[in-house]
Amino acid sequence: MQSENIQLEKNNFIATILLNRPEKLNSVTPEMAGALSEAAAEVNADPAIRVVVLTGAGPKSFCAGSDIKELDSYNTPWEFRNRPDYCDTIRAIRKPIICAVNGYCLGGGLEMAMTCDIRIASANAIFGAPEIKLGWVGGGGMAFALAHSIGPSNAAMMLYTGDPVDAKKALSWGLISEVMAIEGLVTRACEIASVVAQRAPIAAQTAKINLRAAYSMTREDAIQYERDLQTICFATDDAAEGRRAFKERRNPTFLGK
């Protein structure tokens, strides 16, 4: 994968995906959407990658959503409807994803951040769903994600007004897990990623599947599904290694098998 605006680096079981268009607040073009799809496919196919860090270049913005100037390039509403969606691309990544939100996180950028599993932010982060101010609504799962993360009333406040919230309020609402100075943001994201990377890869990916499934299941179905997933994980070599390591009082060595 080669793209100036989407950069993928791999190191110590961690893949870092960088939105690299800071002069445009890392707003996403169709070319970038395509490059993100390639990056996601590469991450999924590489067994050496166990966790992903997603962030934006520069101190001003994680992602300001789609590049508005590019939206008129679609010939018909149907063509717009069936465009490659970068939120779907990030959602398709099977490995756990930590999102490091630096600055503006707006529109499709907010949707993309909410497709990630863990979100942390810099103190200057700004979160918003401003689409209504331009005459439309989000299309990458905005309402579903907001309602599940911050509750229906707070979601309605963001969706109906289009007004942004700062990092402090986002933390109090549960939209993000931590707030810190921007200088240490990516370092902290990588620290979290390193912890996740030490865990059994199959179990980590299964935990992600389980958590997502729990959103749409009844309690009884969710418990049964979780029990089935537990049984699958229990049968892996990594689970056997975990039991051996516990008995031998050492740290386990997980191989993703």
pLDDT tens column, 195-213: 999 999 999 999 999 999 9
| CA angle at 169 for the pair 168 and 175, rounded to the nearest 5° | 100
Catalytic residue positions, numbered? 111, 131
CA–CA distance, 170 with 124 (Å, rounded to integer):
11
For position 164, what pLDDT does the model report?
A: 97
- The amino acid occupying position 54 is L
Residue numbers in the chain where pLDDT is lower than 70? 1-2
For residue 36, how far is the Cα from the chain centroid? Answer: 12
For position 177, what pLDDT does the model report?
A: 98
pTM exceeds 0.85? yes
Q: What is the DSSP string of the chain?
A: ---SSEEEEEETTEEEEEE--GGGTTPBPHHHHHHHHHHHHHHHH-TT--EEEEEESSSSEEE--B-GGGGGG-SSHHHHHTSPPHHHHHHT--S-EEEEE-SEEETHHHHHHHHSSEEEEETT-EEE-THHHHT----SSHHHHHHHHH-HHHHHHHHHH---EEHHHHHHHTS-SEEE-GGGHHHHHHHHHHHHHTS-HHHHHHHHHHHHHHTTS-HHHHHHHHHHHHHHHHTSHHHHHHHHHHHHTS-------
For position 253, what pLDDT does the model report?
A: 95
Residues 217-251: b if buried by 16+ CB within 10 A, e if exposed: eeeeebeeebeebeeebeebebbebbeeeeeeeee
For position 1, what pLDDT does the model report?
A: 58
What are the structural domains of the chain?
A: 6-197 (3.90.226.10), 201-248 (1.10.12)
Q: Which two tokens stand for residue 11?
A: 């190191």
CA–CA distance, 12 with 52 (Å, rounded to integer):
11
Of the candidates 36, 172, 44, the one whose C-alpha atom is nearest the C-alpha of residue 109 is: 36
**End-to-end CA gap in the chain:** 27
